[in-house]
Amino acid sequence: MGRGRVELKMIENKINRQVTFSKRRHGLMKKAHELSVLCDAEIALIIFSSRGKVYDFGSSSVAKTLERYQRCCIAPQDSTIERETQGWYHEVTKLKAKYESLQRTQRHLLGEDLGPLSVKEEKQLEGALTLARQRKTQIMVEQMEDLRKKERHLGDLNKHLKFNIVLSILEAEGQNLKAIQDLWSSGAADGSSSYHVHPSQSKPMDCDPGPVLQIGYPHHDTKSFSGETNFIHGWVL
């Protein structure tokens, strides 16, 4: 009586699943060994159980077989990577040489390590120094021009401020003068009204002037107010 067909799905019972795994693992390894012996094939078999255990079989060596597999299957990619690596290596070499050249140039500009310079390099260095001096002079001239512009601007601003201050002072003085004039006008108007003299009061007042003292020769009669004459030659009292 033959065995029935087994349905391919995971065995739910853990014990049955473990027994089936052990039996079929041994059978698979036996078949791999037979295939390698009968057909002279290089076989590498790696099995991981559900518990994480590893089982392997190799006709010669699993590591050597995997290395051979990598050479055969990943060779084009390795060639591309190798070419890219070579390109980057050449680029790094060029950048390193350029960096060293720039370092030497910087030392030369600082006045260091000038012994190995050739005549051409000395001329190039002199030209570079000349250009640097010209650039420095141009920058200084531009800065001085900017400072002059700022100075003129500040001078104009100062003049404008002074003009505004003087104008405000003059306006304040003008207001004070106007107030004084108004006050003076109002005071003058009040004084003219308070000291107005009536025509009836403009008659001269009768008063006795009293004795008179005259020094020098008289120009008219030397009689006093009482009718007596007191004459001293040259003086009259």
Q: What is the DSSP string of 135-146?
A: HHHHHHHHHHHH
What are the helix (H) ranges across 55-201? Answer: 62-73, 75-109, 119-194
Q: Is residue 221 helix, strand or coil?
A: coil
Sign of CA pseudo-dihedral 63, 66, 67, 68 = positive
- All structural domains of the chain with their residue ranges: 14-73, 86-167
Cα 31 to Cα 34, 43, 44, 68, 102: the distances in Å are 5, 11, 12, 22, 68
The dotted CATH code for 14-73 is: 3.40.1810.10
Considering the entire predicted model, what is its pTM? 0.31
pLDDT tens, residue order, the chain (237 aa): 456 676 788 888 889 988 999 999 999 999 999 998 999 889 999 999 888 888 888 888 888 888 888 877 765 555 667 777 888 888 888 899 999 888 877 777 777 767 777 777 778 778 878 888 899 999 999 999 999 999 999 999 999 999 989 888 888 888 888 888 778 877 666 655 444 444 444 444 454 555 555 555 555 444 444 444 444 444 443
Cβ atoms within 10 Å of 168's Cβ, excluding its own:
10
Cα 111 to Cα 125, 136, 186: the distances in Å are 10, 18, 90
